[in-house]
């Protein structure tokens, strides 16, 4: 199992989302603990130009995260509505 870490921006974004979306995001984060790259379930893809950074799709929202394979940790970088700047780190 992996451990999930949310940065302050992700925590703040989670508080400001609609309750329906928050429920889906929390379920996705629980799924990430067991499988860090759930490709089939959430249309997970690797962010181009980055090493261990992935994006997970939940309707119009994206969760961008890094995987630290050696420490079995997942760092959530962004939770936001998709637009042109979503994948800029």
CATH number at residue 26: 3.30.2310.20
- pLDDT value at residue 87: 61
> 10 pLDDT band (50/70/90 cuts)?
very high
> Is residue 88, in this structure, part of any structural domain at all?
no
Q: Report the candidate in 27, 25, 65 with the shortest Cα–Cα distance to residue 46.
A: 65
Are the beta carbons of 63 and 76 closer than 8 angstroms? yes
- pLDDT value at residue 59: 86
> What is the distance in angstroms between the CA of the first residue and the CA of the last residue of the chain?
26
> Is residue 31, in this structure, part of any structural domain at all?
yes
> Is residue 89, in this structure, part of any structural domain at all?
no
pTM here is 0.85
| Residue 67 pLDDT exceeds 90 | yes
> Is residue 70, in this structure, part of any structural domain at all?
yes
Residue 64, domain extent: 3-81
> Is residue 87, in this structure, part of any structural domain at all?
no
Number of domains in the chain: 1
- pLDDT value at residue 24: 93
pLDDT digits (tens, 9 = 90+) for 15-42: 999 899 999 999 999 999 988 888 888 8
């Amino acid at each position: 199992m992996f451990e999930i870490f949310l940065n302050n921006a992700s925590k703040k974004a989670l508080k400001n989302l609609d309750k329906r979306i928050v429920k889906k995001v929390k379920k996705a984060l629980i799924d990430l603990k067991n499988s860090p790259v759930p490709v089939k379930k959430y249309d997970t893809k690797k962010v181009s130009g980055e090493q261990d950074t992935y994006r997970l799709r939940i309707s119009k929202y994206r969760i961008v995260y890094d995987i630290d394979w050696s420490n079995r940790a997942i760092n959530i970088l962004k939770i936001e509505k998709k637009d042109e700047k979503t994948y800029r780190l």
